[in-house]
Amino acid sequence: MARWQPGTPERLQQVALELFATRGFEQTTATEIAQAVGLTERTFFRHFNDKREVLFYGQDVFTQAFLDGIAAAPPAASPIEVVGAALESAASLFPDERRAHSRTRQSVIEKNPALQERESHKLAGLATTIADALRARGVDDLAATLAAESGTTVFGIAFTQWIRDGEQRSLADICAKVLQELLSLTTKANASRSGK
């Protein structure tokens, strides 16, 4: 039972990412990933249903970080302010030392349409979870959906910026800037509309 120590999925994920990045996702088998950390294929499949899932390990922690930020927002906060708190909380999962890991993961996903599809779908699921949490705070249905979708959009754009070569700002700073740009964009549209 010594193999069931905590950290096995993390070790499998780390080595899988290295193998995917150097040899290619298609060319790497679950057996090879397991063997690279001295484990059997069977142990691999105790932790992951397939090798795609290795790239999405940690999704629950990621989703929970958004939910924690929402729970910590003041009761009087507007839906967009609640989303801002969720973004700040989620961004804290990605300190600077994780940037290289995230960059490698994204480069693997970008080379494989099936992985891109799964990534898009997981982000869609995150938006649904955030919208549910906003509804539970009393935000009406449409506003909750829009605020949640806007939040995942802002996160996705900020994340893409964060992993660009040469980018130095923290993910939290970039999230705040992108959210502010969204507010500014829609305020301009409203001002121009009322000026008609």
List of residues contacting a second copy (CB under 8 A): 78-81, 113-114, 116-118, 120-121, 123-124, 142-143, 145-147, 149-150, 153-154, 156-157, 178, 181-190, 192-193
DSSP, res 169: S
Query: Residue 15 or residue 126: which is nearer to a second copy going by CB?
Result: 126
Question: 5 or 196: whose CB is closer to a second copy?
Answer: 196
Indicate left, alpha or beta for 194 from its phi (over 0: left) and psi (-120 to 50: alpha): alpha
Question: Helix count (H) and strand count (E) of the chain?
Answer: 10, 0
Residue 1 or 142 with smaller CB distance to a second copy:
142
Residue 70 CB, shortest distance to a second copy, in Å, is 15
Q: How far is the CB of 119 from a second copy (least distance, A)?
A: 8
Min separation Cβ 16 and a second copy, Å? 20
- The span from the CA of 58 to the CA of 42, in Å, is 21
Of the pair 42, 188, the CB lying nearest a second copy is at 188
Work out the angle at residue 140's Cα, subtended by the Cα atoms of residues 117 and 72, and round it to the nearest 5 degrees.
80
Report the nearest approach of a second copy to the CB of residue 94 (Å): 19
Cβ distance to a second copy smaller for residue 38 or 138? 138
> Hunting for tokens 């790497």 — which residue is that?
28
Residues whose CB falls within 8 Å of the CB of residue 12, separated by 6 or more in sequence, listed in order:
33, 34, 37, 39, 44, 47, 48, 54
Q: How far is the CB of 164 from a second copy (least distance, A)?
A: 12
Residues 81 and 147: beta-carbon distance below 8 Å: no
State the Cα–Cα distance between residues 60 and 76, nearest whole angstrom.
27
Among residues 31 and 153, whose Cβ is nearest to a second copy?
Answer: 153
To a second copy, the closest distance from the beta carbon of 135 in angstroms equals 14
In whole angstroms, how far apart are CA 9 and each of 56, 100, 113, 158? 11, 19, 24, 27
